[in-house]
């Protein structure tokens, strides 16, 4: 079955290709994305199918890549820009912090910036401190950016379609540790509206809110705990902006216990915002304190054994859930 081998990395290329077939204004740019088909092989087949007129190799110039994408987006195109590793977003941060998210607002609505910045995010592959960070919280601090971080191949395709069709700028985090995973190939015209979380496992005792790499970790934890008689509900946020707090709060109505699992650092991580909304609007539903399982407040170390110390693991999640379930 071909579907069995439909990987997350295939899904990235497939999601982009579907939109490029549908809409001639969709163009790609980035480092090594053309004939080389991407360092993570997430643009395989695009150059062959669409040619150099729509798939553009760039120099190692992150500011030029994202700045040019912005200029093209303001003038009728729908560019999909790749920043190879999300750590490198820091090299073009001006565009994500000051230019792209503010252009529409500060011009009184005169311009729109319909672009996607795709980037390989997160740890687990032993790339060390400058190629392993989960930095979705960087984007989360900036009003005016939509943020997508899928956990399954089907969601990659559906959310890529929505991101490219969005008239707003979208930062699309592809998790490196998920690239080799596979899942069902979604049907044609599979589009997932931005800002819709998915309840990926139903349960009654504890709600786990997860994103990208922490979704499969949480599902494994839930599976283990089922054997111990603990029923875990797992919510895959899928997007950070728009943030689907309605789904989180609705889940808490029947579990009354919350664990948030995020790979970005505890310090300034997106889970803090999820928790603050729950504290404000869902306090009376809670029967226990809220736990956050998050990246540690240290740079990412190289050795696997050290890296596992500082990012979420199945064991850390099961431990947090166990503690809450007996509170």
Partner 1 sequence: MTPEELLDAYAEMVLIRRTERAAHDLFMSGLVKGTTHLAAGHEAVAVGASGALRPDDYVFATYRGHHHALARGATPEECLAELMSRSTGLCQAKGGSMHLTKASSGMLGSYAIVGAHLPMAAGAAWSAKLRGSGQVAVAFFGDGATNIGAFHEALNLAAVWALPVLFVCENNLYMEYTPIEAVTAVPNPAADRAAGYNMPAEIIDGNDVVVVHETVARAAERARKGEGPTLIEAQTYRHFGHSRADPAKYRPADEVERWMKHDPLDVARARLEALGVPPETVADRDRRAAATVDAAIAAAKNAPEPEPALAFTDVWADGGAAWRT
Q: Can you tell me which of 41, 45, 112, 191 binds partner 1, judged by CB under 8 A?
A: 112
- Sheet strands side by side (includes 146-148): 55-57, 26-30, 78-85, 116-121, 170-175, 146-148, 239-241
Residue 77 CB contacts under 8 Å (≥ 6 apart), including other chains: 25, 26, 27
Q: At a CB cut-off of 8 Å and minimum separation 6, what does 47 contact?
A: 33, 34, 35, 37, 55
Q: How far is the CB of 111 from partner 1 (least distance, A)?
A: 5
Considering the rule CB under 8 A, would residue 52 count as an interface residue with partner 1?
no
Residue 76 engages partner 1 in binding (rule: CB under 8 A)? yes
Q: Minimum distance from CB of 196 to partner 1 (Å)?
A: 8
Binding flag, residue 98, partner 1 (CB under 8 A): yes
CA angle 89, 155, 279 (to 5 degrees): 75
Taking the complex as a whole, the smallest distance from the CB of residue 268 to partner 1 amounts, in Å, to 17
Instruction: Supply the minimum distance, in Å, between the C-beta of residue 244 and partner 1.
Output: 5
Known active-site residue 190: no
DSSP H helical ranges for 39-184? 46-50, 62-73, 93-94, 103-106, 136-140, 153-165
CA 194 to CA 146: how far, in whole Å?
Answer: 8
Determine the Cα–Cα distance for residues 286 and 304; give it in Å rounded to an integer.
36
Q: CA dist 324 to 130, 147, 291, 318, Å?
A: 34, 29, 8, 10
Binding to partner 1 (CB under 8 A) within 13-32 occurs at: 27
75 binds partner 1 (CB under 8 A): yes
Token look-up 């089907």 returns 154
- Asked if 66 is part of the footprint of partner 1 (rule: CB under 8 A), the reply reads yes
* Shortest Å distance, C-beta 146 to partner 1: 8
Q: For the window 166-195, what string marks contact with partner 1 as x by the rule CB under 8 A?
A: xxx--------------------------x
**Binding status of residue 125 toward partner 1 by CB under 8 A:** no
The piece of 220-228, 241-249, 301-309, 313-321 that touches partner 1 (CB under 8 A) is 241-249
For residue 46, give Cα distances in angstroms to 16, 82, 254. Answer: 8, 13, 46
Cβ atoms of residues 176 and 121 within 8 Å: yes
Residue 131 known to be catalytic: yes
Size of the site for partner 1 (CB under 8 A): 50
The region of 15-23, 30-38, 239-247, 296-304 touching partner 1 under the rule CB under 8 A is 239-247
3-class state of residue 19 by DSSP? helix
Is position 35 an interface residue for partner 1 (rule: CB under 8 A)?
A: no
d(CA 95, CA 69): 10
Q: Does 242 bind partner 1 (CB under 8 A)?
A: yes
Is residue 280 close enough to count as binding partner 1 by CB under 8 A? Answer: no
Number of alpha carbons in the 13 Å side-chain half-sphere of residue 256: 9
* Binder among 277, 285, 286, 308 for partner 1 (CB under 8 A): 277
Element (H, E) at 252: helix 245-255
Candidate ranges 107-115, 121-129, 180-188, 283-291; the one touching partner 1 (CB under 8 A): 107-115
- Least distance CB 175 / partner 1 (angstroms): 22
Residues that bind partner 1 (CB under 8 A): 27, 53, 56, 58-59, 61, 63-64, 66-77, 79, 94-95, 98-99, 103-112, 114, 143-144, 166-168, 195, 241-247, 277
The catalytic residues are 62, 131
């Amino acid at each position: 079955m071909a579907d069995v081998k439909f990987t997350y990395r295939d899904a990235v290329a497939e999601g982009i290709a579907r939109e490029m077939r549908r809409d001639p204004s969709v163009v790609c740019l980035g480092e090594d994305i053309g004939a080389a088909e991407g360092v993570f092989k997430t643009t395989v087949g695009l150059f062959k199918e669409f040619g150099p007129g729509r798939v553009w190799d760039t120099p190692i110039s992150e500011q030029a890549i994202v700045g040019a994408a912005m200029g093209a987006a303001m003038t009728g195109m729908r560019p999909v820009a790749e920043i190879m590793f999300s750590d490198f977003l820091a090299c073009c941060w001006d565009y994500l912090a000051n230019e792209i998210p503010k252009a529409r607002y500060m011009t009184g609505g005169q311009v729109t910036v319909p672009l996607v910045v795709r980037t390989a995010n997160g740890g687990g592959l032993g790339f060390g401190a400058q190629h392993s960070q989960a930095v979705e919280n960087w984007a989360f601090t900036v009003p005016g950016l939509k943020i997508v971080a899928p956990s399954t191949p089907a969601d990659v395709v559906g959310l890529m379609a929505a991101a490219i069709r969005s008239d707003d700028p979208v930062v699309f985090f592809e998790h490196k540790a998920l690239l080799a995973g596979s899942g069902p190939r979604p049907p044609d015209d599979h589009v997932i509206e931005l800002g819709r979380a998915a309840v990926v496992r139903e349960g009654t005792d504890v709600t786990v809110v997860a994103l990208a790499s922490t979704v499969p970790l949480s599902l494994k934890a839930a599976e283990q705990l089922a054997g111990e008689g603990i029923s875990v509900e797992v919510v895959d946020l899928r997007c950070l902006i728009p943030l689907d707090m309605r789904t989180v709060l609705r889940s808490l109505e029947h579990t009354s216990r919350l664990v948030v699992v995020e790979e970005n650092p505890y310090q300034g991580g997106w889970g803090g915002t999820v928790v603050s909304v729950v504290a404000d609007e869902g306090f009376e539903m809670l029967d226990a304190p809220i736990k956050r399982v998050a990246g540690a407040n240290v740079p990412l170390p190289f050795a696997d054994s050290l890296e596992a110390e500082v990012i979420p693991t199945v064991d850390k999640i099961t431990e947090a859930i166990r503690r809450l379930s007996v509170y």
